[in-house]
Chains A and B, each alone.
Chain A
Amino acid sequence: MSGTGPALIICTCGGALAGRLVFDRLAATPGFGPVMVTQDFCMPEGWRRAAVWCRQAGADVLVVAACGTPAATEALGRVATAAGLDAHRATVVDVREACAWVHPEPRWATAKGVRLIAAAAAGLTEAVRTPPPAEIIPSGRVLVVGPSRAGLAAAGRLRELGCQVVVLDPSRSDSSRASPAGDPTSPDSVPIPGRLLEVTGQAGDFTARVETAEGILDLRVGAVIVAVEPPAHVPPPDTSSLLTLLAMERWIATAGTTPSLHGKTVAFLLEDCPWPSATESALSLALSLVRQGGRSLIYYRDLGVAGRGLEERFREARHAGVTFIRMESDPPRIGERDGRWVVEVDVPGLGLFAETADVLVRGDAARPPDLGDLAEALRVDLRPDGRGPGERMPLEPVFTERPGVFWIGPSRSPCTVDQAIRHGEAAAMAALAAAAPGRRAVSVQAIVDTGRCALCLTCLRVCPHRAVTIGDGPAIEVLPAACQGCGVCAAACPAGAIQMVEAPGRRLLAELDALLSGPALDGDPIIMFACANSAVPAARTLGRLRHAYADRILLVSVPCLGRIEPEHCLRPLAAGARRVLLCGCYDRSCQHLVGPRRARMAAERAAVVAGALGLDGGAIQTASVAPVDWHRLAALLDAVAAVAEEGGAGDRAARGEAAGERAAEGSAAGERTVKVGTGKVAA
């Protein structure tokens, strides 16, 4: 129903907010129609009452001024459903943790609350309607690339769970050896020699193009698990006396025994190999040689024993007679005498220590095969060392940036046998979630206006989750099961053709404009864009600790800092904001991988434009914080407020009365301020 305007519900939290907020002034926030004041919005009786009221008020937009708890958000969802409101037309504004608890003077806390409420309403009024969810019909089949231990563990578990599995063996793809022409679509087929060329589509509904002996074929799969192993060289014949660990392992695995090593001395050089996987294979080889009457020497600097059962096996090997030699600084000096190797090391306390050996085995950190083509086929990035996907916290230890694509085994990071199998089974479960048959509804988070789209393909390039594709038309399409709603594409699109459902472009600006006007705060506003994954939870903890900070700091929650455009930084400065702060995750902890980097780019560009417009480009700042680290956030907020204070000294003098008032109220508040830890806590 239109005409009533947005509706407002104010929750006093059982009266706990009385005296900290002026409810009459909150209720008088301009632009609202009906207003309800309640005291128990998150309780069942409270939200039921609110739902009835909301229906009667006929509101089509609802703002609830309450607390930042999950319970309040849940209650909001219930009210919206009961009142027949679109989920994206209702929101909670946290006036408890963000105002009442952190700004000791009720006057300023209320003024900030009014701005937050008005901004929320402005954002909602402009919001797009929730599009219907997209439907995915997963294929029920998973492609495993690489019949390694990890890959076979994944395949085995998936079959046990009723999934079809196709295992591709890229290491044999170009071998001329005749291989059983397995049918890739039959559920229990053996690994098929073949190469992965391209994976298009989204989790649940990928098309994997593979090249096999039969030619090129397209497979429909719901998930892809990469588990390739280092190439299987068959090592040189047993005359060789210089091997790598991997070669020796393969050799023994193929030959079954090593008669030629009977009674011989083998030296393992692990000085540059602190990996548990290297320790694991060296220990088992050394032990078997010793048990066959030979001698084993293991040279090491740091023995990698951080794997299940490795320390125990190390002790077993020592008792069985394997010699361990710890070296310090220099690498061992290797020479030859009478057809045998001489290994010389400087052992602290013992001096030069020489041993002769028949065979030298060098630890290699199980170097992966060249993964470039595979990574390109999957559109997944490699690390600088050429291994599997990026060294990022959110991707550890089996995920990649592309939903539905998983990466495990030694081509990701050196891992022990036990770990490879565990990761295989973990990836199987993750793949099942994407591929399991049965219709799945996926909410749509980004909408492309094909009329505006200039087909510049910027979105295709920047989307961190590979969710953008070129569909029929040709037209840009966002794949809903891949899209994670970060908004990086919307921020980057030069034509403004992409709208986010949670925070569409216009909505964020509308919200900003509303936030920048309204009742006076104690100083010019400081706008802080806060990442919903890190800065928002940290700020909420500050609120729960009732840690006081400057009320002029206004938080604007964004799904990811990558959502921020230069315009978002400039608009506040033009409207008189003192500073603009972009606060989110660290580069390596960002769920969307590129958020902080893109925020820095946006800030830099905004600073340049600001200079041209005669605004203070230096007032735009980026910062990182973890969701659990409220200390850093508190220090950051204090520092930002202090800088803004200095910068604003001139106009503060002009607004002298406000400052005087603040000083008077501040001293009264000061008495209620106690020190806890590093932070000030408002009583």
Chain B
Amino acid sequence: MLTCTALVVGSGVAGLTAAQALAARGLSVMVVEQGSVVGGHAAGYACKAGADCVLCGVCLAAQGIRSLRAAPGPVVRVDTSVVALEGSPGRFTARLVQRARGIDVARCTACGLCVRVCPVGAISPLPWAEEPRACVLDFDACLRASGNPCALCREACPFGAVRLEPGTREDTVTAAVVVVATGFTPFPASAKSRFGYGRLPGVITTMDLEQGLRQQGTAYLEHQAPAGRRLAFVHCVGSRDVAAGRGWCSQVCCPTALRLARRLAGDVPDLEATLFFMDLQRCAPGIARLFRVLPPEIHLVRGLPAEVRAGTGGLVVTYEDLATATRCQGEFDVIVLAVGMDGPPSVGGLPEGTGGFLTDLPRGVVAAGACGGPVSIAEAAAEGLRAAGAALKTLEELACPVPGRH
């Protein structure tokens, strides 16, 4: 059993900010992250700057991850989920399930020797990840899954970092206060079958585009539709949609679609992008100006498409242009669905409200970031600070001898 004063569930922007703020006050803080890398969703997005930065906040997230090692800092456990939480202020217990990573994070230097010897490419050095800088072994792809005694990677590793035992390990951690920063789940775009996601080639989501741009640059677009230069962005996919059970505005998708469209229009010659929207949300910093001064390659159409079909010359979008009240059709090469944010993955013992977002948490448990409702990266950072303050307040009220206080 582990102990800490403050437990932070999730290492996204909100969780990391809260953890760093609490650790800086001298508390012992543990961050538990279910993914293999730290940083949450924002750690996988692309920079959208053109001639100048467009304030998307992605490098802010990267900065937060890089400052993780500043002392005094929190303890971070990756590959570990919090599956249940119970208890009362001063004595919460969280049940942890740790997935085997195959590589000991503390001993891996990401030198890549194991990656080179693996005959089936089961090991990834995660070259894009800021933290931790350690490889990950995919046990499903590993030859040992089929009974083969291969241990080439273990032999190759000069630091003895390879651990070839798959499976999970359970553990518990106690904490006086808990910050829940479990983030969001992207709307599953295939649930809106009329847009053809997962069925029609060339239909992608903004999440795909963010990650593709980060990892492959504009070549990602080339992979989606070779020589495709006509892009359509569909707003509000899985948001502001009572029929789909999602009656909230996700707040970030309008700015994100515009920033992505601008970045692509700036980098890819002859690219044209059309944004299909209901209402443009321009409250994010700097966004009003970006919408006001649109480059000629970007077109705005008020009206959400009814459906996307495969046509002879590309993907055909039918929509009603609300500005002229006419039914129209357009042909595109790539359709980008601006997916909204759903609530976070469930954690046993935590009450969920509309859409799975967390509300009415018990005293001593504070929600931070997108798990309480859609937020942007910068707002998630502010949320982290706010939650740290709320957690400190609870500790102050408890006036309990805080376990593990430095």
1/0 per residue, CB under 8 A from A, across B277-290: the answer is: 00111111110100
Tell me if A250 counts as interface (CB < 8 A to partner B): no
Cβ contact within 8 Å between B392 and A306: no
Kindly list 16 other residue pairs between chains A and B, CB separation below 8 angstroms, not including A14-B109, A311-B247, A397-B378.
Answer: A16-B158, A274-B279, A274-B288, A304-B279, A391-B285, A396-B378, A422-B386, A423-B382, A425-B389, A425-B390, A429-B386, A537-B62, A544-B133, A545-B127, A588-B286, A631-B216
Complex interface: chain A residues within 8 A of B379 (CB): 397, 419
Q: How far is it, in angstroms, between the C-alpha of A312 and the C-alpha of B218 when the chains are bound? A: 37
Complex interface: chain A residues within 8 A of B107 (CB): 43
Tell me if A627 counts as interface (CB < 8 A to partner B): yes
Known: A40-B158, A397-B379, A628-B58. A302 touches B393 (CB 8 A): no
Q: How far is it, in angstroms, between the C-alpha of A391 and the C-alpha of B53 when the chains are bound? A: 11
Cβ contact within 8 Å between A628 and B46: yes
Known: A39-B158, A422-B383. A161 touches B282 (CB 8 A): no
Tell me if B49 counts as interface (CB < 8 A to partner A): yes
Q: How far is it, in angstroms, between the C-alpha of A678 and the C-alpha of B251 when the chains are bound? A: 32
Interface pick from B74-82, B110-118, B330-338:
B110-118
1/0 per residue, CB under 8 A from B, across A326-358: the answer is: 101100000000000000000011100000000
Known: A274-B282, A397-B382. A628 touches B214 (CB 8 A): yes
Cβ contact within 8 Å between B283 and A414: yes
Tell me if A248 counts as interface (CB < 8 A to partner B): no
Known: A14-B113, A306-B254, A312-B247. A588 touches B55 (CB 8 A): yes
Cβ contact within 8 Å between A628 and B59: yes
Residues of A in contact with B (beta carbons under 8 Å apart):
13-16, 39-40, 42-43, 67, 69-71, 74, 157, 160-162, 274-276, 300, 302-312, 315, 326, 328-329, 348-350, 391-394, 396-398, 413-414, 419, 422-423, 425-430, 432-433, 436, 533-534, 537, 541, 544-545, 585-589, 591, 624, 626-629, 631-632, 677-679
Q: How far is it, in angstroms, between the C-alpha of A666 and the C-alpha of B249 when the chains are bound? A: 55
Tell me if B63 counts as interface (CB < 8 A to partner A): yes
Contact of B323 among A328, A392, A414, A629 (CB under 8 A): A328
Q: How far is it, in angstroms, between the C-alpha of A394 and the C-alpha of B60 when the chains are bound? A: 7
What DSSP secondary structure best describes chain B's contact surface?
A: loop
Complex interface: chain A residues within 8 A of B131 (CB): 70
Contact of A274 among B45, B46, B280 (CB under 8 A): B280
Q: Tell me the minimal C-beta distance from B268 to chain A in angstroms.
A: 12
Cβ contact within 8 Å between A13 and B251: no
Cβ contact within 8 Å between A69 and B279: no
Complex interface: chain A residues within 8 A of B140 (CB): none
Complex interface: chain A residues within 8 A of B21 (CB): 429, 433
Tell me if B139 counts as interface (CB < 8 A to partner A): no
Cβ contact within 8 Å between A429 and B49: no
Complex interface: chain A residues within 8 A of B381 (CB): 396-397
Contact of A627 among B63, B254, B388 (CB under 8 A): B63
Complex interface: chain B residues within 8 A of A589 (CB): 49, 53, 55, 59
Cβ contact within 8 Å between A629 and B47: yes
Complex interface: chain A residues within 8 A of B302 (CB): 328
Q: How far is it, in angstroms, between the C-alpha of A587 and the C-alpha of B324 when the chains are bound? A: 40
1/0 per residue, CB under 8 A from A, across B144-162: the answer is: 0000000000000111000
Q: How far is it, in angstroms, between the C-alpha of A161 and the C-alpha of B21 when the chains are bound? A: 14
Q: Tell me the minimal C-beta distance from A665 to chain B in angstroms.
A: 22
Q: Tell me the minimal C-beta distance from B245 to chain A in angstroms.
A: 13
Chain B residues numbered 16-59 whose CB sits less than 8 Å from any CB in chain A: 21, 24-25, 45-47, 49, 52-55, 57-59
Known: A14-B111, A541-B128, A678-B218. A305 touches B240 (CB 8 A): yes
Cβ contact within 8 Å between B280 and A391: no
Complex interface: chain B residues within 8 A of A311 (CB): 240, 247-249
Cβ contact within 8 Å between B52 and A587: yes
Q: Tell me the minimal C-beta distance from B366 to chain A in angstroms.
A: 11
Q: Tell me the minimal C-beta distance from A531 to chain B in angstroms.
A: 11
Tell me if B125 counts as interface (CB < 8 A to partner A): yes
Q: How far is it, in angstroms, between the C-alpha of A127 and the C-alpha of B406 when the chains are bound? A: 34
Q: How far is it, in angstroms, between the C-alpha of A396 and the C-alpha of B376 when the chains are bound? A: 11
Q: How far is it, in angstroms, between the C-alpha of A13 and the C-alpha of B127 when the chains are bound? A: 17
Complex interface: chain A residues within 8 A of B286 (CB): 391, 588
Contact of A626 among B49, B242, B251 (CB under 8 A): B49
Q: Tell me the minimal C-beta distance from A39 to chain B in angstroms.
A: 7
Q: Tell me the minimal C-beta distance from A460 to chain B in angstroms.
A: 28
Cβ contact within 8 Å between B389 and A157: yes
Q: How far is it, in angstroms, between the C-alpha of A626 and the C-alpha of B286 when the chains are bound? A: 18
Complex interface: chain A residues within 8 A of B111 (CB): 13-14, 16
Q: How far is it, in angstroms, between the C-alpha of A640 and the C-alpha of B271 when the chains are bound? A: 26
Q: Tell me the minimal C-beta distance from B57 to chain A in angstroms.
A: 6
Q: How far is it, in angstroms, between the C-alpha of A67 and the C-alpha of B108 when the chains are bound? A: 13
Chain B residues numbered 259-316 whose CB sits less than 8 Å from any CB in chain A: 279-286, 288, 302
Q: Tell me the minimal C-beta distance from A516 to chain B in angstroms.
A: 30
Cβ contact within 8 Å between A160 and B49: no
Cβ contact within 8 Å between A588 and B52: yes
Cβ contact within 8 Å between B158 and A534: no
Q: How far is it, in angstroms, between the C-alpha of A328 and the C-alpha of B240 when the chains are bound? A: 21
Cβ contact within 8 Å between B281 and A306: yes
The residue of chain B having its C-beta at the shortest distance from the C-beta of A300 within the complex is B279
The residue of chain B having its C-beta at the shortest distance from the C-beta of A390 within the complex is B285
Cβ contact within 8 Å between B279 and A627: no
Complex interface: chain B residues within 8 A of A544 (CB): 110, 125, 127, 133
A and B contact pairs by CB, cutoff 8 A, 6 listed:
A274-B280, A309-B248, A432-B25, A586-B53, A627-B63, A678-B217
